[in-house]
Chain A
Amino acid sequence: MTVTSALPARPPEGTRPEPPGEPLLRAVDVVKHFNVGVGAVCRAVDGVSFEIRAGETVGLVGESGCGKSTLARVLTQLTPPTSGRVIFDGVELTGLRGESLRQQRKHLQMIFQDPFASLDPRMTIGDIIAEPLTNFKVMHGKAKDARVQELLRVVGLNPYFNNRYPHEFSGGQRQRIGIARALALNPKLIVCDEPVSALDVSIQAQIINLLEDLQAEFHLTYLFIAHDLSVVRHISQRVLVMYLGKIVEIAPSDDLYARQYHPYTKALLSAVPVPDPRVESQRRLVELSGEIPSPLHPPSGCRFHTRCPIAQVPGVCSEDEPALEEKAAGRFAACHLSERVGTDLG
């Protein structure tokens, strides 16, 4: 297989240590609001900025309703943002329409959560995988057939299964088919939206390992979205934590477990079950009061203040919205009291 995208050359040495790669994708103050009835606005994504560097895996975690899947759809331009910019490989996607946007999509693919709903049951898996090649007219006839067989082999499926239908495959195998389809056009970035959460435990590891192997082989960049912090931390170099439409913390995954700068991250980590009875018996759960507020009426100031165990209310937390700031090298958090997260919450 030919790899179309060589890694971009690194910039000349500067005064600061350079990040491992150029940003491949940049989100600048991305906002996505949905109008839901009379004057009501759902603030699903409400001002999100971050970068993904070439060759990197960035994880995005958060609980249901935090806006992570909407953000994925905005980044891939499946839905246009209300405001803000998405810059992919030097091209501003948010300004593109029609054919020029379609051409960019070649480099930007998606893998979905539900391997049962995302494959057309009436198409053979050969046709499913070949569809992007047909749509973009990049290959025909024998070359296309050979490419499909090669893709099947790459994702660990028997190449002679191209005439079978999706129902003949298990969940894990269907996820491999979805991955093969995403790889067909040699994309640069793949957005994986909960790619393993519908799969059984023993199959999850197979798919995670496959994604890691493919990344090394084809120099892929991933945005990996999941609610399972163990999976996200395992596969990602950096983790973004989202709460109610905002990014509340960004951290290298190696450092995330040792120290958190946002109380929500701390609460999330404290709640993840660990398959070890000794660790479990020492669990200190950071309890959040109440429930996640509605994105139709997000709280004033810091959106987390209604549930935060250390918030000053009334005070700075219920009045001023904290900005996402660098709290330590490579550590970003949007919290007025980030210094207290490590101490007051144990």
Chain B
Amino acid sequence: MTRSVSDPVLEVRGLSTSFFTDDGEVKAVRDVSFDLAAGETLGIVGESGCGKSVTALSILGLVARPGRVVAGEILFKGRDLLSIGREELRQIRGRDIAMIFQDPLSSLNPVHRIGAQIEEAMRAHDKIAPREVRPRGLDLLRQVHVPDSARRVRDYPHQFSGGMRQRVMIAMGLSNRPEILIADEPTTALDVTVQAQILQLLRDLNRDLGTSIILITHNLGVVAGLCKRVIVMYAGEIVEEGSTEQIFDSPQHPYTWSLLRSLPRVDADRHERLRSIEGLPPDLIAPPQGCKFNPRCPFRLERCFSEDPELEPVGDGHIAACWVTMKRAYAEMGAGSLVDTGPGAASGVRPPIAPVGPDLSEPEGQGLAPEAHDRD
């Protein structure tokens, strides 16, 4: 192999995925680029519809019609997954790159025993020698801490609790010793004590087996506990990327900053009023011109309505797509003492008089009465 060890195991370059609906083209993912290093834990965070799950499905070639990848490259160890044949991709999927989903019950076949399903995942690829398949299945269940695993391999999915099912899914995902595990909201359907156990399991697997993990979630607390690096997505685009410390300690995109301040924290000393983000995420068929966050941003400038900002370095290994960035918002707009978080509240910039597109007013207007903005 000519590739060096330090090369990223996965490189996503200019990925765009759209859904062609009757109402128009929904640009679910737009020009997304990132690297995943071997053994890394990368978090992709954002709210529903931001494109985080579609990004993961695009990597695995699982985007269903009417959606398709319209541009970009997905390089797994230098090979472009978008240009190889279906059979070749099928071999990589599950063997080299595995995925676990939010709802483990709908991903397990109800009429087959747990053990058989884990074995099937191995038999589909020839990475594991046939006579090793059965003992390895049992071993995997032990590795993901399913108690009494020798007996439970013969159980059916309905006999497992939600947390145990997710462990089975992780066992299946790991069965072929993949290099990358993509976990899409793996703990969202679980209780908080079970969630903590599953996250601990993922941490251990990353440390002991060196599996690279892409964790897709809306929960910033979960990311803070598992990931070394974080990508923040909004309206189909990456708006910020950095180390976990950079993203949580000095977020530079107003969306990241606002999101962190809108969360109640269980360890907070005082019950401060939450700083909510006004308005709604934009319609992806007709997103606002310029920066997609401009209808909700307290720090927006005039140019944010016309020019779309590119991702620019804002620190060592830290990038953000914003004309203002929080450094300037703190220095010039008093972000540190901002009480009113309504759109344009800190900069005083209102939308242009003549809306650039007919839908520009929607995300912001959306039926919210003026008082709703003033109340905060």
Contact = CB atoms under 8 A, between A and B. Distances in A.
B369 A227 contact: no
A267 B369 contact: no
B306 to A, nearest CB: 24
A206 to B, nearest CB: 4
Given A157-B368, A209-B276, A257 B225 contact: no
A202 B262 contact: yes
**Which range contains the number of B residues in contact with the other chain?**
35 or more
Given A273-B219, A274-B267, A288 B193 contact: yes
A83 interface: no
A6 interface: no
Interface in B269-292: 271, 273-278, 280-281
A120 interface: no
Contact of B222 (A203, A273, A290): A273
Nearest to B195: A271
B265 interface: yes
B264 to A, nearest CB: 4
A271 B195 CA distance: 8
A247 B47 CA distance: 34
B248 A275 contact: yes
A230 B278 CA distance: 21
B310 interface: no
Contacts of B197: 287
B65 interface: no
A201 interface: yes
B277 A202 contact: yes
A272 B369 contact: no
B267 A257 contact: yes
B253 to A, nearest CB: 13
A165 interface: no
A279 B266 CA distance: 11
Contacts of A172: 280
Given A63-B192, A273-B219, A233 B367 contact: no
B47 A202 contact: yes
B204 interface: no
A230 B221 CA distance: 11
Given A275-B248, A275-B265, A285-B200, A158 B192 contact: no
A230 B265 contact: yes
Contact of B265 (A159, A173, A274, A277): A274
Contacts of B262: 201-202, 204-205
B258 A202 contact: yes
A170 B274 contact: no
Interface string B61-80: 00000000000000000000
Contact of B259 (A170, A201, A233, A253): A201
Interface string A257-297: 10000000001111111111101100101011011000000
Nearest to A208: B274
B124 interface: no
A50 interface: no
A205 B272 CA distance: 12
B239 to A, nearest CB: 13
B260 A275 contact: yes
Given A204-B262, A271-B196, A275-B224, A153 B271 contact: no
Contacts, number: 147
Contact of A158 (B147, B264, B368): B368
Contact of A234 (B271, B366, B375): B271
B258 A208 contact: no
Given A157-B368, A172-B280, A201-B259, A279 B196 contact: no
Interface residues of A, number: 54
Interface string A143-157: 000000000110011
A344 to B, nearest CB: 18
A153 B369 contact: yes
Contact of A283 (B163, B225, B274, B277): B225
A290 B264 CA distance: 29
B271 to A, nearest CB: 6
A339 interface: no
A272 B195 CA distance: 9
Contacts of A287: 197
A230 B263 contact: yes
Given A63-B192, A200-B47, A277-B245, A272 B274 contact: no
**Which of B192, B259, B263, B369 counts the most A-chain CB atoms under 10 A from its CB?**
B192
A29 interface: no
Contacts of B376: 209
B192 A227 contact: yes
A148 B161 CA distance: 45
A161 interface: yes
A64 interface: yes
B368 A275 contact: no
Specify which of A267, A268, A274 lies most central, judged by the most chain B CB atoms within 10 Å of its CB.
Answer: A274
Given A153-B371, A201-B218, A277-B224, A63 B191 contact: yes
A260 to B, nearest CB: 12
Given A273-B219, A274-B265, A274-B267, A173 B47 contact: no
B244 interface: yes
16 contacts: A157-B367, A158-B367, A158-B369, A200-B218, A201-B259, A201-B263, A205-B277, A206-B276, A208-B276, A268-B192, A271-B195, A273-B225, A274-B221, A276-B248, A277-B244, A277-B248
The 10 closest A-B pairs by CB, nearest first: A273-B221, A156-B372, A234-B264, A205-B276, A271-B196, A205-B262, A280-B225, A202-B277, A63-B191, A275-B220
Given A205-B274, A277-B248, 11 more contacts: A158-B368, A201-B220, A201-B262, A201-B263, A202-B262, A206-B278, A267-B193, A273-B195, A273-B221, A276-B224, A285-B196
